Amino acid sequence: MSESKEVVCKFRFVAMRTAEGYDFEKKQPTLLYDLEFVPVSRTSEENKKFWQATPSGLFKFSTVNAEAAKMFQFGHEYYVTFREAPAPSLTNMLSLMQTGLASSKMHTLSSFSSTSTSNGTLNKPDCRHLKLSLKVKV
């Protein structure tokens, strides 16, 4: 990652759904919170600027962290910052795949691909993902 670039969007919290899930680290059932956000509309001068850049879309994520899920208030607006995060190492990715944890961790990856050369050796995979930070404005 050379220089740090960011894209900031402004979204409104519109829905929370809960479902039964499973916490693989604690090895127990848990509650899964599905959160949904939509871009802001043209209700203020600032929102007009965000709406011009992001007039439509949907931002959804799930969490098992009840405190994080409950910090969002329906109808409130939040800034979402997208910034590229360092790629995981090849060794770490292969270890995840071998232990079967890749399926539960892959939601953090936007791309993961690898190619092999003519002599059968594996080229380094392309591993890039986004790290999100939510800033609350109430």
How many domains does one find in the chain? 1
pLDDT tens digits along 1-10? 557 789 999 9
pLDDT tens digits along 51-67? 999 899 999 999 989 99
CATH number where 129 lies: 2.40.50
Q: Is the pLDDT of residue 134 over 80?
A: no
Q: Render the burial of 57-84: b for 16+ CB within 10 Å, e for the rest.
A: eebeeeebeeeebeebeeeebbebeeeb
| Those residues with Cβ within 8 angstroms of residue 55's Cβ, 6 or more apart along the chain or in another chain | 39
What pLDDT is attached to residue 131?
Answer: 44
Tell whether 50 is covered by a domain: yes
Tell whether 86 is covered by a domain: yes
- pTM score: 0.61
Tell whether 1 is covered by a domain: no
Burial of residue 50 (CB within 10 Å: 0-12, 13-18, 19+) is: buried
With a pLDDT cut of 70, the percent of the chain lying above it is 67
Tell whether 34 is covered by a domain: yes
Range of the domain at 102: 6-136
Tell whether 62 is covered by a domain: yes
Q: Is the pLDDT of residue 21 over 60?
A: yes
What pLDDT is attached to residue 29?
Answer: 93
Residue 127 burial (CB count, 10 A):
18
The dihedral region occupied by 75, where left means phi > 0, alpha psi between -120 and 50, and beta the remainder, is left
Q: Give the DSSP H or E segment for 68.
A: helix 66-70
* CA–CA dist 88, 11 (Å, integer): 28
pLDDT tens digits along 98-127? 665 444 433 333 333 333 344 444 444 443
What pLDDT is attached to residue 24?
Answer: 87
What pLDDT is attached to residue 113?
Answer: 36
Sign of CA dihedral 89, 92, 96, 97: positive
Taking residues 127-132, report their average pLDDT: 42
3-state SS class at 107 = helix
Tell whether 68 is covered by a domain: yes
Tell whether 59 is covered by a domain: yes
Mean pLDDT of the chain: 76
